[in-house]
Structure formats: structure tokens, C-alpha cells
Amino acid sequence: MALLRVNSVSIECVMGDIADQPGVGAIVNAANARLLPGGGVAGAIHRAAGPGLEKECGPLAPIRPGEAVVTGGHNLPNPYVIHCLGPVYGTDEPAATLLADCYRNALGIAEEKGIRSIAFPAISTGIFGYPVEEATGIALKTVVEETPRLRSVRHIRFVLFGNRDLRVYEQALGKLQAGTPALLIDLDGVLYVGEKAVAGSLETVQWLNGNGIPHLFVTNTSSRPGSALVEKLARFGIHTDEKRIFSPPVAASQWLATHAPGKAALFVPEATKAEFGRLEELDRHAESGASSVVIGDLGKQWTFPVLNRAFRLLMAQPKPLLVALGMTRYWQGTDGLLLDVAPFVKALEHAAGCEAVVLGKPSKAFFDAGLDILGCKPADAIMIGDDIAGDVQGAQRAGMKGILVRTGKFRPGDLEGEIKPDAVLDSIAELPDWWKESVKLP
Ligand code: APR
């Protein structure tokens, strides 16, 4: 999640078209000296704005490298366009200073106009030939350095045209993010209990969003897709997107991409398969050729042939990795107790003589995969949950802080054992006050 919060300003990077940024106060043009329509960014902006923009630009030209001027947005969805002339790499010197001037001067104009949000393209990295990595470093460093002086600008967006540029920006933002505290939030028992929201949970999530605190919602569910959880949260007024739901399938696809690339044999409900993203699935009838055998909560679909196929896959050479989506033993269904993931994993471990990698709370690999998504080190992360073992102890063993809430499955006896939470809150409603007291904000 490429979002950084510095001095109450959020800095994000997205892939898209700079001429299609509705809701943003000003977009920035990577202009030419004469402020004419050209190719790339300038072409796209002038095409979308219509001929009125070129007319308004005329008297303002020419501009020098590093300079910025402002016009209206004409037919664009934005009130303003700020035109900057980036340096031509290898010609205009000192290139780094001139490029930094573009970002600084554009932000200066945005402040004068009282603009709250501004979107930049990757100035000079197209026709002007500035190497993207170098230009990205200058762009981000400049805007971060400017944030203490910003009074009206609250959102800075970098709009990248291709996947490669987006990755460069995401990595650079990730590095800047290091040291920003992040939060992992257990869902059931913390934000809601059954079908009822915990009082104050909506306000706390709004506070997290408002303060740009990086966070993920963490669940051990592998029987319901992330989209169902997003819908459930929406029923409580909590609006989020699937990217923020971190579940064992999401962790597994991320972890397997580096630890066991290749085809995965998935023993999970059909609806959950979409959660595995780009992970390549082995043919559902194959009995060999898997890099990993992934066991989720298959419920009533477990039959002898299904379980035996998993066993045969594990016995094939080269041996695949056995991956468990959590190690819950059983759960309470409407008609009584039901077997969960662990008994089937144990049977397979026993038969195939192997040990499963567990990707679900409280395993360290699971928490690590979540922190990877947030670009956060364990020492900078906090987990909040209602399960003293699965949430608090699991988080502490992974090097994070663990907060216990007195809601959900919490029982007073939880505090009499050996596990000492870093904080105990009556509910998640108390988190903002605790955070302001206890967490060093960047
Ligand atoms: N939205 C976002 N980014 C875009 C878009 C778009 N519609 N079109 C291109 N880009 C990307 C390019 O891929 C590149 O990474 O923006 C970056 C800057 O590219 P250019 O527009 O070529 O800008 P620059 O290198 O500063 O060159 C400016 O190009 O179009 C001419 O008239 C312009 O002479 C000026 C020169």
C-alpha cells in the first residue's frame, strides 16, 4: 500500500492518466517551454482540457526549466493546471536542482491558491530522458521536505503511467515509510461481535484513515472471501477495500511467490480461490507436479479421495511444501462443532512425514507477510485483538507490540496467565487516545 503520511500530508502513488484525476484540486503538467500541446503528459492534458487551455497558456510562455505557472483547468475535472518545465537530462544543469525546483514551485503555487490536493506526473522522465530511479528520489525527497511548510495542501498524488514506474515509486515510498508505525487489526471480536459493531469502531477506523496510519484488517478465515468481509464491514458503516483484508490465502499467495514458486494444489472452497491472486493453480486432478499443497477449511467437501489426493501430491518427487491456512482445530457452527483446518493438516503431516508451514495467526510467517505488504518492520508494528494467545502472544513472538481489547472472546482470566499485553483497552474505541500518548508519530 503505497501511502505515506508526513506532517499531516498524505503522499500516495497510483497508476493512471494525469488527465483523469477527478476530485484533485490541481494537476501538474510536464510542459514544454512554450506551453504548447506536445506528446506525453502535455498532449494528454491539452487534449482533455480543450483549446481554451492553449489560449490561456500563450501569454504565460515561455517558461524556464524549474519554473512553474498556473492556469485554469478548462474542460478537465480539476480547477487548476500547474505547468512545470522539467530539465532535459544531460542538457539543462544542474538537473537535480532544476527538477526539485519544479516540485517545490508547483507546491508553492498550490499553497498560494489554497489548493488541498495536487497530482504530479513523473516530470522529465519521458521525452526529456531523466532516469526514473534518480528522478523519483528527487521528487519524493523534495515533496517530503516541503511538507512542514504546507498549510493548505493535504494530499499529494504521483500518477504513474506504467507498472514499472509505479514499482519504482512504491519502493521509494516504502523506504521512506520505514519507521512509520503500522497497525494490524483483528476483525471479529474487535470491530464487531457477530452481527453487531463494537461501539466506537467506526470512529476509530475513520481516525486511522484520517491520520494516514497504515493498517490491515487481519482474519484467520479461509472459508469466506475478502469481498464478503468488505461487505460485512460496510454494513457497520466501515468502508474499506479488499486490499486491506489480510487473510491466510492472501498471506499464502504472497509467501509462496518467494518461497515455493510454481504450481500450487489448492484445497480451499471455490469462492476463496480468487484470494490467491496470481498464484498458479495445479490442475485439479493432477497427483504430482505441485510446488505446494495448500490446505484450507474445505468443510463438507473433504472426502477420502480429496484427502488422499493431497497425500499423493505430498509423496511425489520433488516433494512439495505443505501449507496450512491457519491451525484452528474446530469451530462452532449453527448445528454444533465442526472440524476446521488443523485435523486434516495433522493427518497429512503424519501420513506424509512432513511438517506444515502455517500461514495464519499466530504464526510468525503470517504476521511477517502482512508487514511486508505494509512495508513495515515488526518493531514498528502493533497488533490489536481480543485473543490473548492468537493475537497478543502471536504478535509479540513476531517482534510486534500486542494490544488486548476487553471485547469479543476476552475473559478477565486472560490477564492472569503468563502473556503480558503491551496495553489492555476496554475496546478499540480507546485506541486513538492510547496511540496519541504512546506512539511516536513520524
Ligand atoms: N498520465 C501520466 N503520465 C504520463 C502520461 C499521462 N497521460 N503520458 C505520459 N506519461 C508519463 C511518461 O511515461 C513519463 O514517465 O509521464 C512521464 C513524463 O513524460 P513526458 O510527458 O514525456 O514529460 P517530460 O519527460 O517532462 O518531457 C516533456 O514532452 O510532451 C512533451 O511537450 C512536452 O516537450 C515536452 C516534453
Q: Check if 69 has its Cβ closer than 6 Å to any atom of ligand 1.
A: no
Domain 248-358: which CATH number of 3.40.50.450, 3.40.640.10, 3.40.50.1000, 3.40.50.300: 3.40.50.1000
Q: Check if 161 has its Cβ closer than 6 Å to any atom of ligand 1.
A: yes
CATH topology of domain 2-177: Leucine Aminopeptidase, subunit E; domain 1 (3.40.220)
**pTM for the structure as a whole:** 0.59
Determine the straight-line distance between the first and last CA of the chain, rounded to whole angstroms.
17
Ligand 1 atom showing the smallest separation from residue 43 Cα? 30
Distance 1 CA to ligand 1 centre (A): 25
- Determine the Cα–Cα distance for residues 100 and 96; give it in Å rounded to an integer: 6
Residue extent(s) of CATH 3.40.220.10 domains in the chain: 2-177
Q: Mapping DSSP to helix (H, G, I), strand (E, B) and coil, where does residue 208 land?
A: helix
User: How many CA atoms are closer than 13 Å to the CA of 23, on its beta-carbon side?
Assistant: 3
Task: Inform me whether the pLDDT recorded for 69 exceeds 80.
Answer: yes
Task: Inform me whether the pLDDT recorded for 210 exceeds 80.
Answer: no
* pLDDT band at 391; cut points 50, 70, 90: very high
**What per-residue confidence (pLDDT) applies to 181?**
85
**What per-residue confidence (pLDDT) applies to 442?**
46
- Determine the Cα–Cα distance for residues 391 and 48; give it in Å rounded to an integer: 50
What is the average pLDDT score of the chain? 92
- Determine the Cα–Cα distance for residues 221 and 325; give it in Å rounded to an integer: 8
| Residue in 18, 27, 34, 41 to alter for ligand 1 test, most ligand atoms within 8 A of Cβ | 41
pLDDT digits (tens, 9 = 90+) for 402-419: 999 999 989 999 999 999
Give 279-301 as a DSSP string: PPBPPTT-SS--SEEEE---GGG
> Left, alpha or beta for 179 (phi > 0: left; psi -120 to 50: alpha)?
left
CATH topology of domain 182-220+362-438: Rossmann fold (3.40.50)
For the chain, the maximum distance between any two Cα atoms, rounded to a whole number of angstroms, is 80
- Determine the Cα–Cα distance for residues 211 and 221; give it in Å rounded to an integer: 28
Residue extent(s) of CATH 3.40.50.1000 domains in the chain: 182-220+362-438, 248-358
pLDDT digits (tens, 9 = 90+) for 162-187: 999 999 999 898 777 766 789 999 99
